[in-house]
Amino acid sequence: SQQGEEDPQALSIQEGENATMNCSYKTSINNLQWYRQNSGRGLVHLILIRSNEREKHSGRLRVTLDTSKKSSSLLITASRAADTASYFCATDAGTYKYIFGTGTRLKVLA
């Protein structure tokens, strides 16, 4: 399977804490993206990082990319209860066919 893997599979933290999720993938990529999915809903795009970038920020989100290790991490700082959702990484090898990771279910406790 080409599917990427994410860890942890599930993460439970207190409001205000930081949450870190990791993604590993198998093939060379053009870009990697992180998506959020609330239970039973569609996907919301969070951030895109290209293969020649190492780090990107967007609000409380920080994404890193290490192409030599074929891995990426998503950091959510100062988490809120509203951040509770599943988070997926998705890689694009340049064909626009996204390969999704297994996902991390984040629960932020108020």
Partner 1 sequence: GAVVSQHPSRVICKSGTSVKIECRSLDFQATTMFWYRQFPKQSLMLMATSNEGSKATYEQGVEKDKFLINHASLTLSTLTVTSAHPEDSSFYICSARPPRTGGPAFFGQGTRLTVV
Number of residues that bind partner 1 (CB under 8 A): 21
Query: Per rule CB under 8 A, is residue 51 in the interface with partner 1?
Result: no
How far CA 2 is from CA of 31, 45, 92, in Å, comes to 16, 21, 12
Sole binder of partner 1 in the list 43, 61, 75, 93 (CB under 8 A): 43
Query: Per rule CB under 8 A, is residue 3 in the interface with partner 1?
Result: yes
Closest contact distance (angstroms) between CB of 51 and partner 1 is 12
Query: Per rule CB under 8 A, is residue 59 in the interface with partner 1?
Result: no
Closest contact distance (angstroms) between CB of 96 and partner 1 is 5
Token pair belonging to 50: 């290209």
- Determine phi and psi for 82, rounding to 5 degrees: -70, -10
Sole binder of partner 1 in the list 26, 45, 54, 57 (CB under 8 A): 45
| 90 Cα distance to chain centroid | 8
**Rounded to whole angstroms, how far apart are CA atoms 107 and 11?**
6
